[in-house]
Amino acid sequence: MKKRKIIILGFLFLMVLVSCKNNISNSNNTKPTGSEISSGSVTSSKTSTPSNYTTTKSETTSSKSTSSNISSKTNSSSSSIPSKDQMMIASIKELGKELDDNSTLEVSFDGMYVKLITDNTDKLMLFVDDSSYINVRVSNSAFNDYLKNRYLNCYYKVKGLLSRKNNQLEVAYELITNITSSPEDYDYTLITKDCNTILDVYNDIDNISLSEKKNGVGSIVTFNGVLMSTDRSDANKKAVLYDNDHLITVISDKKICDGKLDLGKELKITGITSVKNGAPAVLLLDMSIETKKIEINYQNALEVNPSYFSKWYHLSDNMKDPSYSDYAKLYLVSGYVSADESRKSAYYFGISDKYNDNLSDIGIKTVIKGVYLMNHLNVKEDNVLSDIFYNYYGEDIKISLYCSLYQFDSQNHGWKIFPFETTLKEA
């Protein structure tokens, strides 16, 4: 009997051992439930991470589910501090206020390319965004075919070195890549400075710091003026505007208006102020023709002879430039129609003090005594009969007309003026 009890107890003990072994095996093979993961009841030192998901310190210590961690990572990325690629131009300019003349700062931004400006041999690419504008300087050697073929009014990613040159902040070019490839309109009211008068425009030009060659660019401005003349020989890409007190030249890389058809109309101009070889101008960015008519006032004109302008000149190694106020004046010039007799292939008309004067610069080292007439230079024999000044050429007839001072022609040592042809009369 005792032996039978021992056998039964042994059998029961064996069954308990088998049962315990099975329970342990099942426990090891059972996957934890989601609630167990969320509660942190299961941990592992060999948790796998998806290839597109980077584990951060906060994620490894988080008690949230894996799916919550991925979502948190995505949200964190979208709301993080913007990189320099996302900086606005105004913010970059703020950083630049701390730079001295010998310091640079690497920056990048997205902007619309709106203007190409020549500064000696360098190129300035003007970029704008909704906050401000800045020039990107490209050396002549770096201005390759790729940059030459970038469309205006498209958006680009720009990378370069922010620096201060002639007291102006600009970016030295390193990389420019397309964001868009189709030109878009831009609202310049976001960044322009409204000028009530052309004198206000000159006040901005006064603040431009110039290079040794007397070149520089300033601010984007908007102003109104009456169209007095255009450069018809260059597809009306230059225009002279007047507000009955001051004159200014506007220069574009395309036709500004319809020349004689738009004379006397008021234009609203948006452009960037500039100085080239000492001569002030506004480089056109945008314009519109206003509806109201303005009566032209000629009463404040300064009466001069053509030789009056010979007190100034602008040569590469010898400069004696007019002031900006001299460029802004309305002039009434009286003299005789003459030409550069040394040039035989065409007529280069101008005005001189005396009858039968010659505008040739042969033997002249600084400046001739007369002035050249814009729109009446390089007039071929086939067209000369239709030129209004040909009727007075070689004649002992003194004429007078209103005009504006344009630029010095350093190759021919003479000043160019824009004649307001509708005011031409015999003196």
pLDDT in tens, the chain (427 residues): 444 444 444 544 545 444 544 444 444 443 333 333 233 333 333 333 333 323 333 333 333 333 333 233 333 332 223 344 569 999 999 999 988 888 999 999 999 999 999 998 999 999 999 999 999 999 999 999 999 999 999 999 999 999 998 888 999 999 999 999 999 999 999 999 999 999 999 999 999 999 989 999 999 999 999 999 999 988 899 999 999 999 999 999 999 988 778 899 999 999 999 999 999 999 999 999 987 778 899 999 999 999 999 999 999 999 999 999 999 999 999 999 999 999 999 999 999 999 999 999 999 999 999 999 999 999 999 999 999 999 999 999 999 999 999 999 999 999 999 999 999 999 8
Q: How many Å apart are CA 192 and CA 8, to the nearest integer? A: 103
- For residues 166 and 198, state if they share a domain: no
Which residue type, as a one-letter code, is found at position 117?
I
Tokens of 253: 């890389």
Q: Kindly provide the b/e burial profile for residues 362-392, where b requires at least 16 CB atoms within 10 angstroms of the residue's own CB.
A: eeeeebbbbbbbbbbbebeeeeeeebebbeb
- For residues 387 and 308, state if they share a domain: yes
Question: Residue 143: what pLDDT?
Answer: 98
- Within a domain: 371: yes
Q: How many Å apart are CA 102 and CA 99, to the nearest integer? A: 8
Q: Give, in order, the Cα–Cα distances in Å from 293 to each of 226, 263, 289.
A: 9, 11, 11
If we measure between CA atoms, which residue out of 222, 249, 217 comes closest to residue 234? 249
3-state DSSP assignment of residue 120: coil
- For residues 197 and 182, state if they share a domain: no
- For residues 170 and 100, state if they share a domain: yes
Q: Give, in order, the Cα–Cα distances in Å from 260 to each of 138, 255, 257, 265.
A: 37, 13, 9, 10
Which of 186, 216, 237 lies at the terminal end of a domain, its last residue?
186
Could you give phi then psi for residue 9, rounded to 5 degrees?
Answer: -65, -40
Q: How many Å apart are CA 121 and CA 275, to the nearest integer? A: 15
- For residues 316 and 414, state if they share a domain: yes
- For residues 226 and 138, state if they share a domain: no
Question: Residue 156: what pLDDT?
Answer: 98
| Contact status, residue 404 vs residue 240, Cβ threshold 8 Å | yes
- Within a domain: 46: no
Q: How far apart are the first and last CA of the chain?
A: 156
| Contact status, residue 404 vs residue 247, Cβ threshold 8 Å | yes
Q: How many Å apart are CA 89 and CA 107, to the nearest integer? A: 10
Please count the other Cβ atoms lying within 10 Å of the Cβ belonging to residue 152: 16
- Within a domain: 12: no
Which range of residues forms the domain containing residue 275? 192-289
Q: Give, in order, the Cα–Cα distances in Å from 417 to each of 81, 231, 388.
A: 55, 11, 16
Number of domains in the chain: 3
- For residues 179 and 221, state if they share a domain: no
- For residues 148 and 134, state if they share a domain: yes
Question: Residue 54: what pLDDT?
Answer: 32
- For residues 253 and 314, state if they share a domain: no
Q: Give, in order, the Cα–Cα distances in Å from 144 to each of 2, 137, 138, 161.
A: 108, 13, 10, 19
Tokens of 45: 């030192």
- For residues 139 and 207, state if they share a domain: no
- Within a domain: 35: no
Burial environment of residue 98 by CB neighbours within 10 A (0 to 12, 13 to 18, 19 or more): exposed
Burial environment of residue 280 by CB neighbours within 10 A (0 to 12, 13 to 18, 19 or more): buried
- Within a domain: 13: no
- Within a domain: 60: no
Q: How many Å apart are CA 37 and CA 15, to the nearest integer? A: 34
Which of 117, 152, 186 lies at the terminal end of a domain, its last residue?
186
Question: Residue 261: what pLDDT?
Answer: 80
- Within a domain: 417: yes
| Contact status, residue 306 vs residue 338, Cβ threshold 8 Å | no
Helix H or strand E encompassing 67: helix 66-78
Angle at 376 between CA 231 and CA 410, to 5 degrees: 80
Question: Residue 376: what pLDDT?
Answer: 97
Which of 162, 186, 210 lies at the terminal end of a domain, its last residue?
186
- For residues 358 and 341, state if they share a domain: yes
- Within a domain: 219: yes
- For residues 311 and 272, state if they share a domain: no
Question: Residue 15: what pLDDT?
Answer: 52
Q: Give the CATH number of the domain where residue 240 resides.
A: 2.40.50.140
String of DSSP letters for 165-230: ETTEEEEEEEEEEES--S-----GGGTPEE-SSHHHHHHHHHTPPP-TTS-EEEEEEEEEEEEEEE
Tokens of 335: 């003299």
Which residue type, as a one-letter code, is found at position 279?
A
